[in-house]
Amino acid sequence: MDKFRMVFQFLQSNQESFMNGICGIMALASAQMYSAFDFNCPCLPHYNLAYGLGILLVPPLILFLLGFVLNNNVSMLAEEWRRPQGQRGKDPAVLRYMFCSMAQRAMIAPAVWVSVTLLDGKCITCAFCTSVPVETLGNASHPGLSPGEIKQVLARIPCKEIYDGQELIANEVAVRYLRCVSQALGWCFVLLMTTLAFLVRSLRPCFTQAAFLKSRYWSHYIDIERKLFDETCTEHARSFAKVCIQQFFEGMSTDLEAARCHPPRKAPADAGEAAKKLLGITDQGTMNTALKSWHRCKPPLQLHPPALPSGNGGNGWAGEGQPPTQPPAPRKEVAAYYSWV
Amino acid sequence: MERFRMIFQYFHSNSESVMNGICGLLALASVKMYACFDFSCPCLPRYNMAYGLGIMFVPPVALFLCGLILNRQSLVMLEEWRRPQGHRKKDPAVIRYLCSSIMQRAMVAPVVWIIVTLLDGKCLICAFSSSVDPEKFVGFANASPVQVQQLLAKVPCKDDELLRNNTSRKAVSRYLRCWSQALGWSILLILIAAAFLARWLRPCFNQATLLQARHWSNYIDIEQKIFEETCCEHSRLFAHKCILHFFESMRQEIKLHSFILPREGEGAEGEEDLLRGITDQDQVNKLLKMWYYEKPPL
């Protein structure tokens, strides 16, 4: 019991660090994904903006949703939200706490993707190359090009091999300008995110500490209660199954003896434990019949106590009527309720 | 249980080393980030200064805030600062000690970034290439002011067609890098000297107060951790009792299938002690509120 308590405490106190670990792994995976991704600007006037902004914004959305999917607590939140009130009131503060902590962790990988994308510069270069200020950086008075054609030329800036507007504006100048803007945006984004995180973390103790302690306690409680309930049900199911199967074998053994008119073979007195475990089945034919019967005709989910007539029809939980009055003390208990305690 | 207690004690006594480890990791991360960052000076007259100084100062601010966020003690300090007085007096020396230790640790990564930036030199070359006196360099002395500004702005870009292989460009670049590295090494020397003096001279001033502040700040940290562990344990037992009660209330139907033994009571007394008589939601809420508003006297 002590060992179990120790392990449970360790896991519980480390559930937060486990979730933080997953969050860190996703952030690293997002940076790795970006470096593995082969960015390929289309270098066409309207496609550039769509492609560039798409690469900047769509993967973060996917990573955000993935962050929720990988979080174990999402199903817990959904259960708590949708359960009928019953005898236990619902506390919206607890739901808000659970949602906020999940959302904060899920935001990290998308923020890393956006920062890395902006600091690298390729997306912004691709998306906004047609908006470069040609008047200040190049020769706006280049003859013979209509605005549409200028846009076409500028759209090829990210593709150095096919760029033919060197007289209009030098490729390196435009790329440096766009990358400078992109990196400035990137660092501002990073600063903004860290400032927000800092404010969220440091303002909480100043204002809502008591409510926070309450919400945290009850959200942990809901999680533990769910796990313990699952364990209790598993133990219950094990006991149920054990008795069910035991009664099946006993029933088979009795039937077979009756059918074959064999006198019940008495196990030698000194066989003890092993003989009891044989459950009355001691030859191949009987075993085969037992196995066939188990496959073709499983017993109902209804355990009858040996001292009582098995008069309850159907299977499953018999909620109807009062159980017959139990005979006192000599009733044989045929299973034990196992508990971790 | 003993082993668990030992492991926990190890972690508690080493919360300082955990924080030092985080601080070191953040410093390494800052160096790595600088190495991975593709510095790209715009080489345009007004943009250079903004870009260069921005790269030198904005990431350190972000790293400083990261250092504060990742440090557990900052939360402890804020809670201690904002809590209502209740039965326990507040000691401003403890809060000051916590604040200064948090700030010192958070300043390491930004300082590392600034020093690496200065020693590398690219930022300063980018920011101040337009501010160099053109008279000192032969190639720029004879051009018109506007042209000079344009040319000087292009100095950080080695591959620019105008200034490729221009010896004056290399001269300006070397000159600025020399200044940058001198500044970097000087700052490093000053900081290390200051840290050395601070560590050596600290025992001469208020050592007793310092020991007290350190002890009580450790105490607050440990108390916080143990409170959280106790809450976890309590919630586990609370949940267990709740579920058993639930199963008990289904006992009539379960009895029909007769596979439940009456609950043995041998473990119950130990757990009653641990539950400390707190067995419903209102009592737990009251307990948490009382803990915040009126901490017990020391």
Measured between beta carbons, which residues in chain B are less than 8 angstroms from residue A176?
Answer: 40-44, 157
Q: How far apart are CA A124 and CA A117, in angstroms?
A: 8
Tell which wins on pLDDT, A265 or A184. Answer: A184
Whether B240 and A341 have beta carbons less than 8 Å apart is answered as: yes
Predicted-complex ipTM score: 0.79
> Which residues of chain B from 204 to 233 reach within 8 Å of chain A, CB to CB?
228-229, 231-233
Check CB contact under 8 Å for A341 and B42: no
Residue B298 pLDDT > 80, yes or no? no
Q: Does B258 touch chain A (CB under 8 A)?
A: yes
Q: Does A292 touch chain B (CB under 8 A)?
A: no
Report the chain A residue with the minimal C-alpha distance to residue B248.
Answer: A337
Query: Which of the residue ranges A200-214, A301-315, B284-298 has the most confident prediction, judged by mean pLDDT?
Result: A200-214
Q: Tell me the per-residue pLDDT of B246-275, one tens digit each, with 9 for 90 and over.
A: 776 655 444 554 444 444 444 344 444 445
Measured between beta carbons, which residues in chain A are less than 8 angstroms from residue B287?
Answer: none
Q: Tell me the per-residue pLDDT of A59-81, one tens digit each, with 9 for 90 and over.
A: 999 999 998 888 878 888 888 88
Q: Tell me the per-residue pLDDT of A135-170, one tens digit each, with 9 for 90 and over.
A: 888 777 766 778 888 888 889 999 988 888 888 888
Measured between beta carbons, which residues in chain A are less than 8 angstroms from residue B157?
Answer: 172, 176
Please spell the DSSP secondary structure of chain B, one letter per residue. -HHHHHHHHHHHHTHHHHHHHHHHHHHHHHHHHHHHS-------TTHHHHHHHHHHHHHHHHHHHHHHHH-HHHHHHHHHHHS--TTS---HHHHHHHHHHHHHHHHHHHHHHHHHHHHH-HHHHHHHGGGS-GGGSHHHHTS-HHHHHHHHHTTT-TT-TTTTT-HHHHHHHHHHHHHHHHHHHHHHHHHHHHHHHHHHHGGGS-HHHHHHHHHHHHHHHHHHHHHHHHHHHHHHHHHHHHHHHHHHHTHHHHHHTT--PPPP-TTHHHHHHHHTT--SHHHHHHHHHHHHHSPPP-
One-letter identity of residue B267:
G
Q: What is the 3-state secondary structure (H, E, C) of chain A?
A: CHHHHHHHHHHHHCHHHHHHHHHHHHHHHHHHHHHHCCCCCCCCHHHHHHHHHHHHHHHHHHHHHHHHHCCCHHHHHHHHHHCCCCCCCCCHHHHHHHHHHHHHHHCHHHHHHHHHHHHHCHHHHHHHHHHCCHHHHCCCCCCCCCHHHHHHHHHCCCCHHHCCCCCCCCHHHHHHHHHHHHHHHHHHHHHHHHHHHHHHHHHHHHHCHHHHHHHHHHHHHHHHHHHHHHHHHHHHHHHHHHHHHHHHHHHHHHHHHHHHCCCCCCCCCCCCHHHHHCCCCCCHHHHHHHHHHHHHCCCCCCCCCCCCCCCCCCCCCCCCCCCCCCCCCCCCCCCCCCCCC
* pLDDT at position A262: 52
Which whole-number Å values give the CA distances from B37 to A116, B34, B53, in the listed order? 10, 5, 15
* pLDDT at position A294: 79
Q: How far apart are CA A182 and CA A169, in angstroms?
A: 19
Q: Does A205 touch chain B (CB under 8 A)?
A: yes
* pLDDT at position A14: 61
Q: Which of B14-23, B119-128, B156-165 has the lowest mean pLDDT?
A: B156-165
* pLDDT at position A198: 92
Tell which wins on pLDDT, A219 or A260. Answer: A219
Q: Does B165 touch chain A (CB under 8 A)?
A: no
Measured between beta carbons, which residues in chain A are less than 8 angstroms from residue B284?
Answer: 217
Measured between beta carbons, which residues in chain B are less than 8 angstroms from residue A137?
Answer: 44
Residue B3 pLDDT > 60, yes or no? yes
Whether B71 and B26 have beta carbons less than 8 Å apart is answered as: no
> Which residues of chain A from 214 to 233 reach within 8 Å of chain B, CB to CB?
214, 217, 220-221, 224-225, 228-229, 232
CB-nearest to B65 from A198, A240, A334 is A198
Q: Tell me the per-residue pLDDT of B32-43, one tens digit each, with 9 for 90 and over.
A: 999 999 899 998
Residue B164 pLDDT > 70, yes or no? yes
- The tokens 């196992």 sit on which residue? A338
* pLDDT at position A128: 93
* pLDDT at position A7: 59
CB-nearest to A194 from B38, B51, B65 is B65
Check CB contact under 8 Å for A317 and B253: yes
Report the gap between the CA of B111 and the closest CA in chain A (Å): 17
What's the average model confidence in pLDDT over B68-76? 89
Tell which wins on pLDDT, B142 or A308. Answer: B142
> Which residues of chain A from 116 to 155 reach within 8 Å of chain B, CB to CB?
119-121, 137
Average pLDDT of chain B to the nearest whole number = 81
Domain boundaries, chain B: 1-210
Measured between beta carbons, which residues in chain A are less than 8 angstroms from residue B59?
Answer: 187, 190
Q: Which residues contact B115 (CB under 8 A, 6 or more apart)?
A: B184, B187, B188
What proportion of chain B, given as a percentage, has pLDDT over 70?
79
> What is the C-alpha radius of gyration for chain B, rounded to an integer number of angstroms?
31
* pLDDT at position A316: 38
Q: Tell me the per-residue pLDDT of B209-244, one tens digit each, with 9 for 90 and over.
A: 888 888 988 898 888 889 888 988 888 888 888 877
Residue B103 pLDDT > 50, yes or no? yes
Residue B18 pLDDT > 60, yes or no? yes
Q: Tell me the per-residue pLDDT of A7-64, one tens digit each, with 9 for 90 and over.
A: 555 555 566 777 888 888 889 999 999 989 999 999 998 899 999 999 999 999 999 9
* pLDDT at position A314: 37
